[in-house]
Amino acid sequence: MSLIYKRPANWPDLTHFLYDYYGEIAPFSRRIDRKAVFLPLIFFKTIEWSIYRWYKTPIRRFYGVKGNELIYMITNRCHDRCPKCGIWEHPEPACQHLPVADFLKCLQRLHENLYQVTLTGGEPLTYFEDVLLIAQEAKKLDVPMVMVTSGVLLNERFLKIYKELEHTLVVSVDTLDKERWEIFRGRKHFDLVMRNIRLARTMLGQRFRIQSVLAKETEADIPKINAFCEELSIPHTVQPYMDFGGQWHSAGDVPPVDYPCAARKNICIYPNGDVVKCFDHRRIPLAREPLGNIRNEDIIQILCKKRATEVSRIMKSCNFPCKQLSCNKPPAAFKQ
Ligand code: SF4
Ligand code: SF4
């Protein structure tokens, strides 16, 4: 009786610990190739899990060496008008756009913990010079960068610098049919983007990728894009459609996955500098409000807040469809 009354109402139950343990051990065990060392490695991993489970320093979730991805949605602005995406409908006012110096400071503070910095949007190249500054700083700090772009604003000067910096570029392509392109992108720039794609392939080689969204609207297009990529030896990734305010429809149920959402390794920055743990944070009641803003707070202080640790813990057993996005998969589960 006394035990029941002493137990705090929000104390996690046994199934939570089991799920937590399984979520840590299952992906780890799949990476062990040599059967002879399987049990000793599981034993040591269990000790490590126990230490991190019970020894609660707030910093631990975020500062594994090269264990985190910093994702910067540099802007909501975009020249395209894709019906799959509602982001372009809400461009941030100029006065709310984060000065690039604040993001560079954030990158410098976190770089030892980052295995990658990703730039997305909106269209990142709307802030062409800022992107170059970030790419140069990332190179200096030895953090690989990936940028996802519509491909419209690419040019030779950018690709030349980007190639020297050895970063990775991803262009979104959802069809290779010129008429459908105009419907999918709301703009008539099929020829321009295809020319830029060929130029990027020539200049960046395997550091250039194409990414497509699988939706009901693109089901017939994906195999053609895949064949095109194979012909040009361009790595091709396919993401399931997620509703970010767009008008497309999911291609069907995405099969469930048995690993915890890896978004908790992510640190996401909005165009105004707000910090969240994943771009779908509004689904998690405790994470609805941003954790802070890097315009006026230090990123490490933001990530060390108690709420940041709590949100990270909740994310481990979070199970929404957004878990299927490549940026939310553990590297071991993400096959290109
Ligand atoms: S999907 Fe990409 S290219 Fe299309 S409007 Fe949205 S941000 Fe722009
Ligand atoms: S499942 Fe979605 S909402 Fe939950 S942590 Fe992962 S990305 Fe965030």
Q: Report the atom number in ligand 2 closest to the C-alpha of 284.
A: 3
Which residue matches tokens 């743990």?
A: 277
Contacts 24+ apart (CB under 8 A), 302-306: 302/275, 303/59, 303/62, 303/267, 303/275, 304/58, 304/59, 304/62, 305/58, 306/58
Closest ligand (CA of 126): 1
Q: Rounded to the nearest 5°, which phi and psi values hold at 198?
A: -65, -40
Confidence of residue 67 (pLDDT cuts 50, 70, 90): confident
Q: Is the CB of 87 under 6 A from ligand 1?
A: yes
Q: What is the pLDDT of residue 331?
A: 55
For a mutational test of ligand 2's pocket, the pick from 69, 259, 261, i.e. the residue with the most ligand atoms closer than 8 A to its C-beta, is 261
Cα gap 246→65, rounded to integer Å: 37
144 C-alpha to center of ligand 1: Å?
Answer: 23
Q: Is 322 in the pocket of ligand 2 (CB under 6 A)?
A: yes
Q: What is the pLDDT of residues 164-176, one digit of tens each?
A: 999 999 999 999 9
Separation CA 63–CA 77 (nearest Å) = 31
Any ligand 1 atom below 6 A from CB of 151? no
Q: Which atom of ligand 2 is nearest to the CA of 315?
A: 5
Q: Is there an atom of ligand 2 within 6 Å of 327 CB?
A: no
Nearest C-alpha neighbor of 266 from the set 258, 255, 277: 277
The pTM of the full predicted model, rounded to 2 decimals, is 0.81
* Residue closest to 245 by CA, chosen among 204, 197, 279: 279
176, two tokens:
């290779």
Predicted local distance difference test score (pLDDT) of residue 261: 84
Determine the distance separating the centroid of ligand 1 and the alpha carbon of 85, expressed in angstroms. 6
User: Residue 328 — very low, low, confident or very high, per pLDDT cuts 50/70/90?
Assistant: confident
Q: What pLDDT, on the 0 to 100 scale, is given for residue 12?
A: 53
Mean pLDDT of 6-17: 56
Report d(CA 308, CA 59) in Å as an integer. Answer: 10
Does position 268 have pLDDT exceeding 80, yes or no? yes
Q: With 70 as the cut, is the pLDDT of residue 186 above it?
A: yes
Give Cβ neighbours of residue 143 (< 8 Å, ≥ 6 apart). 70, 107, 111, 114, 115, 116, 117
Check if 287 has its Cβ closer than 6 Å to any atom of ligand 2.
no
Q: For residue range 34-65, what is the model confidence (pLDDT) as tens digits?
A: 888 999 999 988 887 787 666 555 454 555 56
